[in-house]
Every structure is written in structure tokens, then in C-alpha cells.
Amino acid sequence: MENQPTIMVTNDDGIDAPGLRALVQVLVSTRRFQVLVCAPDSEQSAVSHSITWRHPIAARRVEIEGATAYAIAGTPADCTSLGISKSLFPLIPDLVVSGINMGSNCGYHIVYSGTVAGAREAFFNDIPAISVSYDWFGGQSKVENFTLAAEACMPIITAALVEIKKKTYPLRCFLNIDLPTDVANNKLGKH
């Protein structure tokens, strides 16, 4: 397990959000990664890159099968900052993945997105990061689509970890993935 890459998952929809839970479940099910979770204890959408600085941030342990997880009383940027600080976890993750967000995050939305801020905070600290959003469409999307979205991202996550290990991953950027509503019938969704 020590040689496995470590992935820390965060989000802005909260630690109980179906997108985060689906992503963690898919990562854990591969048995190829050590999975850490450091996510807000409540929904924090559209908080952009706000941080908590006037009062202490509370963290509580949460049971998520196969992962070491904490719920944080703070913003997505707070969660990433705390999760990579070695205060909660004994090591710094190889990769931070923020999401899967319920809703698209492209164009100007990335300025307001807490999901993108979770990845951007890792990037600010020279840790490779990916933000992932699923274009949820009311009446058409189903919770199961988050699992399909997580599975569709696995080749990208795996490729990023290979580049990180080879020290060829570009450190001057982070990835922002926006998955289409009908993820099952798009090229990205097929393996």
C-alpha cells in the first residue's frame, strides 16, 4: 500500500454529496490508490476561493469505506489547504481531485466555483490537481450518472498519476474536466 499513489478528494457540494461519494467509491474499488477525503461538512457551492481566517476550522472524522475521511467546517479551499498540510494526514497527496460537482463548471463559472477552487488551492501549493464537474440536468440526470462520470475520468486520473511519477506532469496548470449530461453515450464515457 505504501507504493500506491495517494489521491485526496475534496468538493464544494459537501462530504455527503453523491458526486464525491461516487468518485471515492470508484477510486477505492480499483485498489490502486490510497484515498484520502477532506471535504466541507455542508454545501459550499459558488464560494469561489474564499478562505476562513478569523476563527479555527473544525474537522471531524467520517466513515467512508476504503478511505480516510474528514468533514471540515470550511470552504473547499480550506479543505484542500488543511488536507495537504500534514495536519490531518501523515503525507502530502500525489494528486488532489475536486468533485464530482453537480453542475457544469466551464467558462466564467470557474471563477465562482468552489469545486475549481479546491483544485486551484492544490495548484497554488505545487500539488497536481484536477477539478471534475458533471453537467447535471434536472429530469434527465440520475444519481447513478455520477458513477459513470467517475469511471469516465479514470483514464485521465491514471494518466496524470503516471506523469506525476515520471516527474513530467506540468506544474504550471491544473485540469478542469466538465463531463456532458449524457456521459454514457459520449466518447469520453466509453472505455
Q: How far apart are CA 80 and CA 98, in angstroms?
A: 9
List the chain domain ranges.
Answer: 6-189
Tell me which residue of 20, 40, 21, 23 sits closest to 114, measured CA to CA: 40
Q: How far apart are CA 63 and CA 95, in angstroms?
A: 21
Position 126 scores a pLDDT of 93
For 34, the grid coordinates are: 490510497
Q: What's the maximum distance between 2 C-alpha atoms anywhere in the chain?
A: 47
Position 90 scores a pLDDT of 94
Position 189 scores a pLDDT of 40
Q: How far apart are CA 4 and CA 22, in angstroms?
A: 20
Position 173 scores a pLDDT of 87
Position 42 scores a pLDDT of 67
How far from chain centre, in Å, is Cα 42? 15
Position 191 scores a pLDDT of 41
Is the CB of residue 83 less than 8 Å from the CB of residue 36?
yes
Q: How far apart are CA 108 and CA 158, in angstroms?
A: 28
Position 190 scores a pLDDT of 42
Q: What is the pLDDT along the chain (191 residues), one digit of tens a residue?
A: 558 999 999 998 899 999 999 999 999 999 999 999 999 986 666 556 666 667 878 899 999 999 999 999 988 988 999 999 999 999 999 999 998 988 787 766 766 778 888 999 999 999 999 999 988 877 777 888 899 999 999 999 999 999 999 999 988 889 898 888 877 776 544 44
Q: What is the DSSP string of 18-33?
A: HHHHHHHHHHHHHTSS
* Amino acid letter for position 158: T
Q: Going by CATH, does the domain composed of 6-189 fall within 3.40.1210.10? A: yes
